[in-house]
């Protein structure tokens, strides 16, 4: 499966786990981003995409 792990980049340079096994990433009209895992778990985050490597299964967000 090709789901990814979503992290948020913190100001100290570390990364905090947001959600594992992410399938759907969908920016909303209000500026939030909706994440949905392959298990149907959903998270809304106030952040922008910082970088993404699909081959490495990593999506990193940065706080908006």
Binding site for a copy of itself (CB under 8 A): 1-4, 22-27, 38, 48-57
35 CB-near residues (< 8 Å, 6+ apart)? 6, 18, 19, 22, 24, 25, 42, 43, 44, 45
Query: CB 4 → a copy of itself: shortest distance, Å?
Result: 5
Query: CB 48 → a copy of itself: shortest distance, Å?
Result: 7
Spatial contact of 10 and 62, defined as CB atoms under 8 Å apart: no
Closer residue to a copy of itself, CB minimum distance, 42 or 53: 53
Closer residue to a copy of itself, CB minimum distance, 16 or 39: 39
């Amino acid at each position: 499966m090709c789901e990814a792990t979503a992290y948020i980049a913190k100001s100290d340079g570390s990364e905090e786990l947001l959600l594992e096994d992410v399938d759907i990433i969908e920016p909303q009209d209000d500026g939030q981003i909706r994440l949905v895992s392959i298990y149907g778990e959903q998270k809304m985050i106030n952040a922008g995409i910082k970088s993404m490597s699909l081959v490495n299964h990593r999506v990193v967000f940065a706080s908006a």
